């Protein structure tokens, strides 16, 4: 089986060879990053840098692209195996490295077409945001809200839109995310206070895979959009995504009113942003 056969069905839609040249850095190979990477591989992306230090645990299996046979393996190894199963022509560099300490990260980012930001903690997000701004590399971040009630996707477009720090400063001043916080950012005490749930109960209910999948599909489309923006000629079946930020509600739980609710904005660089320095200095 050669690569032409693998992509015969989508070849009329996309020039698979164009996506094949793109380099995608996956920062975080958990349920989010793993699903985005697999979707990209199935869209013809062939060059990946995978970053993660975790091992796949049994409780990950119901939400991860890697199933039971990979339990106990490093996530970068398990995910690489799943991607290569789809397309053996894929080139993968695996980094079982801490994103906060990896001195090579800025260079790897500068060599990437786009970064998939799928980590679960603020320090790594802000380090990658800063490195992407410095190297003018696009990134796309996807986050799933507590209990899988919805999530958000934001794409950083260098010299065009705001950065992650700009986004946070805007969100602080709006009601866009009222009542929504990510489970990972909340202390155990806060979890009980905010959600009125036992800690064990909420830890066991970060959402079904299907809830996460809505977000990873938007995430993937934003990444494909970033790759398309880097190409000399845009694939005709991939019209540009105008807005760089969207919030998706899976079900009618505060702050969402109904199933499948979407809101979107175009985030501009914010005056005085300490990271992207837009507006205030020009
Ligand atoms: Zn900024």
Position 275 in a domain: no
Position 281 in a domain: no
Position 205 in a domain: yes
Position 233 in a domain: yes
Token pair listed for 59:
């409780």
- Residue-level pLDDT at 201: 45
Is-contact 100 128, C-beta < 8 A? no
Position 174 in a domain: yes
Q: How far is the CA of 169 from the centre of ligand 1 (A)?
A: 9
- Residue-level pLDDT at 101: 96
Could you give the number of structural domains in the chain?
1
Q: How far is the CA of 281 from the centre of ligand 1 (A)?
A: 12
Is-contact 246 218, C-beta < 8 A? yes
Could you tell me the mean pLDDT of each successive run of 10 residues in the chain, 282 residues long?
76 72 96 97 95 95 95 98 96 97 96 96 96 98 89 96 93 66 49 49 65 96 96 88 94 88 92 78 43
Q: How far is the CA of 277 from the centre of ligand 1 (A)?
A: 6
Q: How far is the CA of 156 from the centre of ligand 1 (A)?
A: 9
Please, what is the angle between helix 209-230 and helix 31-42, to 10°? 50
Q: How far is the CA of 138 from the centre of ligand 1 (A)?
A: 13
Q: How far is the CA of 275 from the centre of ligand 1 (A)?
A: 5
- Residue-level pLDDT at 82: 98
Q: How far is the CA of 163 from the centre of ligand 1 (A)?
A: 4
Position 273 in a domain: no
Q: How far is the CA of 143 from the centre of ligand 1 (A)?
A: 19
- Classify 150 in phi/psi space as left (phi over 0), alpha (psi -120 to 50) or beta: left
Q: How far is the CA of 278 from the centre of ligand 1 (A)?
A: 7
Q: How far is the CA of 65 from the centre of ligand 1 (A)?
A: 33
| Strand order across the 23-27 sheet | 91-95, 47-51, 23-27, 114-117, 139-144, 150-156, 245-249, 261-265
Rounded Cα distance, 48 and 281, in Å:
36
Domain containing 157 — which CATH number?
Answer: 3.40.50.720
Q: How far is the CA of 125 from the centre of ligand 1 (A)?
A: 13
Return the HEC string of the chain: CCHHHHCCCCCCCCCHHHHHCCEEEEECCCHHHHHHHHHHHHCCCCEEEEECCCECCHHHHHHCCCCHHHCCCEHHHHHHHHHHHHCCCCEEEEECCCCCCCCCHHHHHHCCCEEEECCCCHHHHHHHHHHHHHHCCCEEEEEECHHHCEEEEEEECCCCCCCHHHHHHHHHCCCCCCCCCCHHHCCHHHHHHHHCCCHHHHHCCCCCHHHHHHHHHHHHHHHHHHHHHHCCCCCCCCCCCCCCEEEEECCCCCCCCCCCEEEEECCCCCCCCCCCCCCCCC
Burial (CB count <10 Å: 0-12, 13-18, 19+), residue 30: buried
Position 17 in a domain: yes
Q: How far is the CA of 279 from the centre of ligand 1 (A)?
A: 10
Residue 95: strand pairing partners: 51
Q: How far is the CA of 25 from the centre of ligand 1 (A)?
A: 21
Q: Which of 13, 77, 24, 15 is nearest to 46 (CA)?
A: 24
Q: How far is the CA of 26 from the centre of ligand 1 (A)?
A: 22
Position 272 in a domain: no
Domain containing residue 132: 3-265
Rounded Cα distance, 160 and 170, in Å:
16
């Amino acid at each position: 089986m050669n690569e032409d056969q693998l992509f015969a069905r989508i070849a009329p839609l996309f020039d698979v060879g164009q996506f094949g040249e793109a380099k995608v850095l996956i920062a975080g190979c958990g349920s989010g990053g793993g699903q985005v990477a697999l979707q990209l591989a199935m869209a013809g992306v062939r060059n990946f840098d995978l970053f993660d230090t975790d091992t796949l645990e049994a409780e990950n299996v119901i939400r991860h692209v890697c199933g039971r046979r990979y339990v106990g393996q490093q996530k970068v190894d398990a995910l690489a195996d799943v991607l290569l199963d789809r397309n053996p022509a894929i080139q993968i560099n695996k980094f079982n490295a801490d994103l906060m300490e990896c001195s090579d990260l800025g260079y790897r980012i500068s060599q990437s077409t786009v970064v998939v930001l799928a980590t679960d903690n603020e320090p790594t997000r802000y380090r990658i945001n800063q490195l992407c701004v410095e190297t003018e590399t696009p990134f796309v971040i996807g986050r799933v809200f507590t209990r899988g009630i919805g999530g958000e996707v934001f794409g950083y477009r260098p010299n065009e839109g705001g950065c992650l720090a700009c986004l946070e400063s805007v969100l602080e001043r709006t009601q866009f995310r009222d009542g929504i916080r990510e489970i990972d950012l909340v202390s155990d005490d806060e979890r009980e206070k905010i959600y009125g749930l036992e800690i064990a109960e909420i830890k066991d209910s970060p959402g079904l895979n299907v809830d996460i999948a809505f977000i990873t599909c938007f995430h993937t489309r934003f990444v494909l959009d970033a790759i398309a923006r880097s190409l000399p000629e845009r694939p005709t079946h991939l019209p540009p995504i105008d807005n760089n930020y969207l919030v998706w509600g899976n079900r009618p739980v505060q702050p969402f009113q109904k199933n499948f609710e979407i809101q979107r904005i175009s985030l501009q660089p914010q005056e005085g942003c300490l990271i992207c320095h837009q507006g205030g200095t020009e």
